[in-house]
Structure 1
């Protein structure tokens, strides 16, 4: 299969390589001349010879609408645009409706895997019509982890990004619980080897997880996280999750509390937020503030 990929940053660049590793052709465009395959979106679309043509957008939310507006006149009826970034689910139906009069199809994909996706594969939560998902399935199969799990057709337009939004809200809560436990152990005078306690929990316990593995990895690099400021940004999806819960009347106290804890960290240095920041950096390649850095 052949696909166009717009956005070749930390996620998009690795996704391009994983798709190529599976034997498919990727024509990638990025404003960074060091990583792009072509000089423009026009050149990228011109190199796509299959029918239908498929273009995957992997960009920050601020650039998605403008990119769709630019791509739409270049594409033909039957072609498919995929938004695989962290867009808000409410946008997806609007994008599908915008493209429908031109005969262009739209698919939303919540994508999880961070900087480890090239090696481990990406969890894909997909929204859109059955026929469009079937057309794109070879690309989804190339990106997903090996094995039975890691891909779901979650529903219609918006379902993929809604599922990813809730995934990130759960991630907030899990990270906060781990971080609070770490802070408590660090402060207990009876405990002298916090790092090895967490390492021991990686096997045989009900709280073992990849996040736990990443915590240990972070402590191996900086045992007491002395080089990290207790500041954790919120990507926006935590806020969207809490807002959706309010709209739907669903109680999400743990996710809401973890979101508010991040707000607190953005005001004052927080010991627990050192661990949240360290975990985010391990799986997402996010910039980590050094102690004292503004």
Structure 2
């Protein structure tokens, strides 16, 4: 199957390479010369122009978007629109908000183009291990491009699912990432607790490796934690600052909207926000209040 992959960042380039290895013709599109040059060494074709790439592919075509969520997706669709033809399929494999994906599906339907939202998990390991794919869209369109999903997934019959209509794929990926927030926070707190038990002088990498086999808490996140602790036991040089890319916030907002309690995911998001406070006003006010009502000592800087 012939595919235009728009966006040759690390994940987009890895996906394009996996598709190329799987026998698909891929033309990678990116405005950045460095990204194109790097991608060109992987064996698939590259182009700086959406129009040029689509002109080289037979109609109907498959266009896979791997661009940042938000306005960039709409801008890319606007640039694509004059070059799309009846029967083309556009797949958004990024982390778009699911309601935006529903809107975009309706938008291109008037042009007789199918829009598929594909929540994609696997990170930098997806090239070797395959990607977990959560797919939303019309059944006929999903079935028509099924060979692409089977190539990207860990196996033809595992790691991918057509989960529902337009928006369902990105909705499931949103919740997936919210769960990921909670799991990561639990691991981080548990290992911090062991690190503070100085009387036992625990080797945290050793503990993590023991948990990798037979334990009910084993997971890929634990595998990655074990590797990180093995390389850098004290995590030297890593600042205690944790970003979030939006999906956790959307998950919490959706939980509130649906009246579904999600305290673990919500607190894990708040902990990420807390990690960014270098000079917490709330903590300083807490210290001041303790001093006011109980005369407790205040530490000064």
TM-score, normalized by the shorter chain, greater than 0.5: yes
Q: Deviations over 1:91-126 (max 9, x none)?
A: 011101111111111000000010110000000000
Residues 1:81 and 2:95 aligned together:
no
Q: CA 1:202 to 1:268, structure 2 compared with 1: closer, same or farther past 3 Å?
A: farther
Displacement of 1:149 in angstroms is 2.1
SS at 1:238 equivalent: helix
Displacement of 1:63 in angstroms is 1.0
Residues 1:161 and 2:170 aligned together:
yes
8 Å contact kept, 2:134–2:172 = yes
Aligned to 1:209: 219
Aligned to 1:6: 6
Q: Deviations over 1:229-286 (max 9, x none)?
A: 11110110000000011111111000000000000001149xxxxxxxxxxxxxxxxx
SS at 1:34 equivalent: helix
Q: Distance in 2 between matches of 1:113 and 1:98?
A: 29
Residue in structure 1 matching 2:267, options 257, 261, 267: 257
Q: Distance in 2 between matches of 1:146 and 1:224?
A: 37
Residue in structure 1 matching 2:206, options 186, 191, 196: 196
SS at 1:102 equivalent: coil
TM-score, scaled relative to structure 2: 0.87
SS at 1:56 equivalent: strand
Residues 1:40 and 2:63 aligned together:
no
Q: Distance in 1 between matches of 2:240 and 2:155?
A: 36
RMSD, aligned α-carbons: 1.4
Q: Distance in 1 between matches of 2:3 and 2:224?
A: 33
Q: CA 1:264 to 1:32, structure 2 compared with 1: closer, same or farther past 3 Å?
A: same
TM-score, scaled relative to structure 1: 0.89
Q: Distance in 2 between matches of 1:268 and 1:30?
A: 37
SS at 2:221 equivalent: helix
Pairing 1:18-167 to 2, within 5 Å after superposition: 18-36=18-36, 37-49=46-58, 51-61=59-69, 62-146=71-155, 148-167=157-176
Q: Distance in 2 between matches of 1:218 and 1:108?
A: 33
SS at 2:95 equivalent: coil
Q: Deviations over 1:12-62 (max 9, x none)?
A: 00000000010010011011223431121110111111x321100000014
Q: Identify unmatched segments of 5+ residues in structure 1.
A: 270-294
Q: Distance in 1 between matches of 2:23 and 2:136?
A: 25
Say which one has the larger Rg: 2
SS at 2:117 equivalent: strand
Q: Distance in 1 between matches of 2:112 and 2:231?
A: 52
Q: Distance in 1 between matches of 2:11 and 2:200?
A: 39
Displacement of 1:148 in angstroms is 3.8
Q: Distance in 2 between matches of 1:147 and 1:136?
A: 13
- The number of residues matched between the two structures is 269
Displacement of 1:147 in angstroms is 6.0
Residue in structure 2 matching 1:230, options 240, 244, 260: 240
